Amino acid sequence: MITITVSEKEILSRPNYYELGEFINRRYHQEKELLKSNRDEHFVLQIAEDGRVTAIGDSQNDQCVICGKISPYSKSEHIDKRVGYVEGAGQGCFQPSICEKHKH
């Protein structure tokens, strides 16, 4: 489900329903594209015991299938030991109360 929020100012600044419809349609497609890409702009850093960064990106950890955040659980860790894992769906957010896309 895609939710689009439009302010009163944005609505009133459109002189007719046609332009408002175009505006909403454009916002819908922008949001859809953002959902396709991973909006999480965080980088995964692998850090050695001495504090040196040994790798950037491509974590061996699972990520939330809802919001894309990297979880603290490795892909090989048994699902019974994970918080938020849903059988048949994958790793859900390990912190559901702050999952960016799961808020109702």
Cα(30)–Cα(38) distance, integer angstroms: 13
Domain range annotation of the chain: 45-98
In this predicted model, what pLDDT tens digit does every residue of 10-65 receive, in sequence order? 899 998 999 999 999 888 888 877 776 655 555 556 667 787 776 666 567 888 88
The separation between CA 9 and the C-alpha centre of its own chain, rounded to angstroms, equals 28
8 A C-beta contact, residue 45 and residue 51: no
Give the global pTM.
Answer: 0.39
Largest distance between two CA atoms of the chain: 62
Cα(48)–Cα(16) distance, integer angstroms: 59
Strands (E), 1-104: 45-47, 53-56, 61-63, 70-74, 85-86, 90-91
